[in-house]
Amino acid sequence: MSNKTAIIVRREYLERVKKKSFIITTILMPVLMLVLMCLPALLMNVNISDARNIGVIDNSGIIAGGLKDTDLAHYTRVDIEPDSMYSRDEYDGFLIITRDIIENPAGVTLYTRDAGSLELESSLSDNIANIIENERLRQLDKADVRDVLDSVRADVSMTTFRLTDGDASSGTSSAISYAIGLIMSVLLYMFLLMYGQMVMTSIIEEKNNRVLELVVTSVKPTQLMMGKIIGVGLVAVTQLALWAVIMLTLSASVIPLFFSPEIAAEITAYNNGSLDPATSSISIEGIQALSVIGNPLYIAGILGYLLLFLVGGFLLYSAMYAAIGSSVDNIQDGSQLQSFVIIPLIVGFIVSTTIAANPSSSLATWLSMIPFTSPMIMMTRIPFGIPTWEIILSLVILYVSFVGVVWFAAKVYRVGIFMHGKKPTVKQLIQWARYK
């Protein structure tokens, strides 16, 4: 890289990194993402709703005694006329059971003062159904059937391990790989689109306010273009690196603080492969998720690949964006030509959602070799564990294509930046590339 390109890179980089908006999004995004990822786990441990006081008007006399108090509600049997329940505001709601509830289980009515809760309703239905079933069994004189049923019930939950050469004990689950793959794909899509368009708009701006005319008096147009691409690319890498540092720090230090000691112990046990799912306090999927988020090594590995595909994808796409930006006078004119860039991006992104369900299909393999879709498709597949040679081949194709695309883009760029007025056709762009 020549000295002049370095000066351009420096300017492009500093101009963006010093912006307040960059600093704010860079700090806030990972915090937001971790919160979103951990929210379900946190909610498992935190009880956010107060238990309600429910009065039970039980005309059958069977149900009220069997209702168990939960975190959501306390049940109290009351003997009042239904009409008077409006005035009894020591209760948050009333449950009315009909006399023939055993024969007609539909005869349950719940009145609540504030908005009903889905959780309360479903736990209440389960509870009542259980009581009715038991009562029916008792009437048939088959009360012991319940014990038999309880003793044969089986809860299956799978612990899966990947057969890899190295760390055979690292537990995986398809659900986690699916989630991580999709997050990576979204992240790449976002980065490529956002930073690619940043290159385009900044070129259009330079062209419009004619600062470009002054810059090219001392720098070759190609150097200016490369300087801009590299400068903006470094901003993207900086942002990703800062996110990685923030997320790794959070996942290594802050997150374990939220776990109770027994969950922490279960995660350790899970990572050693010695966890007995039957005794764990939360579901095996929850443990898997927490173990992945709390494992900096795994996250670092994924981020490493993300960096390689991000840089390759960015170079490829931003070169195309640069060619488009140079050839038009305003962003509106750019939007039509932009579809050449956006369509493959969107295809890659949408297909990656299907690919995540079946990462080893031949469609997946092919699309992860085509440079325009490979960054997103590959990052979706990598969390599932795919052969290293595939990843390397895909990267090589991506970087080689970048060289070709940049060559073409530079040819268009050096002509396009001086063209004002009519929006060019694709045919014209190709003609420009042929100029000496």
Residue 210, Ramachandran bin (φ over 0: left; ψ between -120 and 50: alpha; else beta):
left
Rounded to whole angstroms, the Cα distance separating 228 from 322 reads 9
Residues of span 365-424 touching another protein by CB under 8 A: 414, 418
Closest to another protein by CB, 212 vs 345, is 212
CA distances from 185 to 72, 152, 167, 219, 377 (A): 39, 43, 25, 37, 7
By the rule CB under 8 A, 214 interacts with another protein? yes
By the rule CB under 8 A, 213 interacts with another protein? yes
Choose one: 8-16, 77-85, 90-98, 358-366; the region binding another protein (CB under 8 A): 8-16
Contact, 131 vs 63, CB < 8 A? yes
Parallel, antiparallel, or unpaired for β 73-77 and 52-58?
parallel
By the rule CB under 8 A, 77 interacts with another protein? no
Closest to another protein by CB, 162 vs 220, is 220
Q: How far is the CB of 170 from another protein (least distance, A)?
A: 48
Choose one: 4-12, 103-111, 167-175, 234-242; the region binding another protein (CB under 8 A): 4-12
Residues of span 47-66 touching another protein by CB under 8 A: none
Residue 28, Ramachandran bin (φ over 0: left; ψ between -120 and 50: alpha; else beta):
alpha
By the rule CB under 8 A, 325 interacts with another protein? no
Residues of span 171-210 touching another protein by CB under 8 A: 209-210
Among 9, 67, 73, 215, binds another protein (CB under 8 A): 215
* Share of the chain residues as helix, strand and coil, in percent rounded to the nearest 5: 70, 5, 25
Contact, 57 vs 78, CB < 8 A? yes
Using CB under 8 A, count the residues that bind another protein.
Answer: 24
Secondary structure element (H or E) that encloses residue 57, with its range: strand 52-58
Exposure string of 241-278, with b = 16+ CB inside 10 Å and e = fewer, is ebbbebbbebbeeebeeebeeebeebbebbbeeebeee
By the rule CB under 8 A, 274 interacts with another protein? no
Closest to another protein by CB, 84 vs 209, is 209
By the rule CB under 8 A, 232 interacts with another protein? no
Q: How far is the CB of 19 from another protein (least distance, A)?
A: 9
Closest to another protein by CB, 120 vs 212, is 212
Q: Residue 370, Cβ neighbours under 10 Å: how many?
A: 16
- The residues of the shown chain that bind another protein, judged by CB under 8 A, are 4, 7-8, 11, 15, 209-221, 414, 418, 428, 431, 435-436
